[in-house]
Structure 1
Amino acid sequence: MQHYILFYETVDGYVEKRQPYRDIHLQLARKAVESGALVMAGAYEPADGAALIFRGEDEEVAADFARRDPYVQNGLVSRWWVRKWMVVVD
């Protein structure tokens, strides 16, 4: 299994705008944790973006999450991308 980081850049006012979608976003994240795909996730401080670390066979594990995330679907994420992460110490 490989690790992948999903990066989000968020829109201005993201913290306020996310409220209607937060429960669904967190449910999606919890399911990904339960399945073993999502290792950890969190927003930056200040909340102008976020990083989510996934474990899987390829980058689709992270890209699929982004495509299903209500934050992405509803325009709260202005840009997202996935990078393979070569873990050296685990």
Structure 2
Amino acid sequence: MPETLQLLKYTYVEDMATLRAPHREAHLAAIEASRQAGDLVIGSAVGDPVHTGLLGFRSDTPAVAEAFAAADPYAAAGLIVSFTVEPWVVVTPLP
């Protein structure tokens, strides 16, 4: 049965792979906390070199994803150029 997630898509600054290093541990800790809370089900950086991040949240509204983006250490460090949140209908089973 399809499930609708809220897909958070980041656009990162150039040279993200280098610039994220001092903030990566805190960013990954935020991801893990959201996963343990049951909100985040999938996430990853995209590209080589990295230029985008995608994170899928279980939520009926974009609010959870937007709150994550606002509190993300990458945002505080100025590494996120922009972000969007859109519904994503997933047709394969999720854990």
Q: Partner of 2:38 in structure 1?
A: 36
CA RMSD between the two structures: 1.3
- 1:36 alignment partner AA: G
- 1:26 alignment partner AA: L
Q: Partner of 1:70 in structure 2?
A: 73
Q: Is the 8 A contact 2:6 2:60 kept in 1?
A: no
Unaligned runs of at least 5 residues, structure 2: none
Q: Partner of 1:56 in structure 2?
A: 59
The TM-score with structure 2 as length reference comes to 0.87
Q: Partner of 1:86 in structure 2?
A: 89
The TM-score with structure 1 as length reference comes to 0.92
Unaligned runs of at least 5 residues, structure 1: none
Secondary structure, in 3 states, of the residue corresponding to 1:27? Answer: helix
In the TM superposition, structure 1's runs of 4+ consecutive aligned residues that sit over 6 Å from their partners are: none
Tell me how far apart the structure 2 counterparts of residues 87 and 27 of structure 1 sit (CA, whole Å): 25
Encode CA deviations 1:7-27: one digit per residue, 9 max, x unaligned.
Answer: 011111111111111111010
Could you tell me the percent identity over the aligned residues? 31
**How many residue pairs were aligned?**
90
